[in-house]
Amino acid sequence: MLMKCAAYTGDVEPCNGILVNAIISYDGSKFFGMQKQPNKKSVQGEIESALKKLNINSSITHAGRTDKGVHALNQVISFKIEAFWKDLEKLKNSLNKTLLPNIFIKK
């Protein structure tokens, strides 16, 4: 699913770019949980690192958290991208090349 950022209404921060929602799965045995933690390998940290490799400087928002060692099959995340990433399938494939085998962007 692809959504443009909402205009600033005073209730939310203004945003630039496009907001992308994604569904991911991951093997939690390799991570200290979903949420980024200092000096610990996390799912959020790995995804944000993969985004940076594609010149996307965005933090991710996740719909829920998992603890160390917990797996996920359909975790929902979102992040902002620049408009030049029009081909979301190419973006997904590029991220999966970096994230596999422990994290998989499903759609």
The CA distance from 15 to 91, in Å, is 20
Write out pLDDT tens, residues 25-64: 999 999 998 999 899 999 999 999 999 999 999 999 888 8
Q: Please report, rounded to a whole number, the percentage of residues in the chain having pLDDT higher than 70.
A: 85
Q: Is the pLDDT of residue 7 over 50?
A: no
- The catalytic residues are 67
* Residue listed under structure tokens 């085998």: 101
The 10 Å Cβ neighbour count of residue 54 is 14
Write out pLDDT tens, residues 53-72: 999 999 998 888 788 878 88
| Mean confidence (pLDDT) of the chain | 84
Position 17 scores a pLDDT of: 76
The CA distance from 61 to 51, in Å, is 13
